[in-house]
Amino acid sequence: MKNLSLPPEIEEYRDKHWRREESLRVESVADAESFIEQVGFAACLTDSRQPGPSLYVAVCGRRDAVMPHNVQKDPESSHTWVLKDELIRRGKVYYGKLARGKTMFLAPRMLPAFFTIWGMTKRQEKTRLSKEALAILKILRKEWEMGTADLRQETGLHDRKVFSKAIDELQTAMIVIPSEVLYQPKFTYIWTLSEVRFPELSPSKLDKPTALTEIALCFLANAGMTIPGELAKATGLSRPDAGLGNQQLVKKELAQRLGVGKYLYLSR
């Protein structure tokens, strides 16, 4: 998305908060953890053509960062990938494929809000999850963690597409996450239960409007201003839910509505 309608001062505000400046760029895993905690949630390998904070853009430290076609030979995308693996291994921030297939990092403080929107209770699992996802979950609840190949073997889900779809389903529901990435003897993810690493995922007392408000505030406080569709695209929220979150910020006098889908953060 091109932010051509954003005023220069908002672009500069985003440069600071989304670390789109050379002096603020992310270099170490500690930098990355600090960045994710600050922005609340961030994509991993999206570039300047997509809305919202991105670890890749923060590693590049520039506003116009665009992912090259040959990412294997690109030092910035390679470094982002290495940081991603280290972040997963350290487990201080949440990482998973969430709504609409968006692979995102979440700060622990944002987990209750996201879980309220996309998570489910154990009582809901049998009616909302597919039989394939339930088969994976049954094994992981017994073993706690397992690599992809072993998990496919234990569940009998030998078809890669079927297995991947079930794993994605569990990630979207914030039930399962990767806990480590191994490259030897061959590439594989180690999968574990989200609640093992992040007790913040226990059913919270947040209602949906409050959760939407927290997500909208988290985005707007770091974006300075949002234009139509940005919040939904950055988070995977539906347009109506994103609108409800922004409207709640106006009611709380944290934002000013400038027009349809346009909101200005009032505490800048």
Per-residue model confidence (pLDDT) at position 126: 94
The domain containing residue 20 runs over which residues? 8-114
Coil, strand or helix at 72: helix
- State which of 77, 97, 114 marks the end of a domain: 114
Listed residue (131, 195, 137) closest to 170, CA to CA: 137
Q: Are residues 212 and 195 both part of a single domain?
A: no
- The CA-based dihedral angle spanning residues 222, 223, 225, 229, taken in that order and rounded to the nearest 10 degrees: -130
Q: What is the mean pLDDT of residues 12-40?
A: 98
Number of domains making up the chain: 3
Q: Is residue 22 part of a domain?
A: yes
Q: Are residues 97 and 147 in the same domain?
A: no
The Cα 211–Cα 85 span in angstroms is 29
Last residue of a domain, one of 201, 222, 245: 201
Q: What is the pLDDT of residues 89-143, one digit of tens each?
A: 999 999 999 988 889 999 999 999 999 999 998 899 999 999 999 999 999 999 9
Q: Which range is least confidently modeled, 24-38, 41-55, 193-207?
A: 193-207
CB 40, CB 110: distance < 8 Å: yes
pTM of full prediction above 0.85: yes
Last residue of a domain, one of 61, 83, 114: 114
List the CATH number of the domain containing 241.
1.10.10.10
| Percentage of residues of the chain with pLDDT beyond 90 | 87
CB 80 within 8 A of CB 59: yes
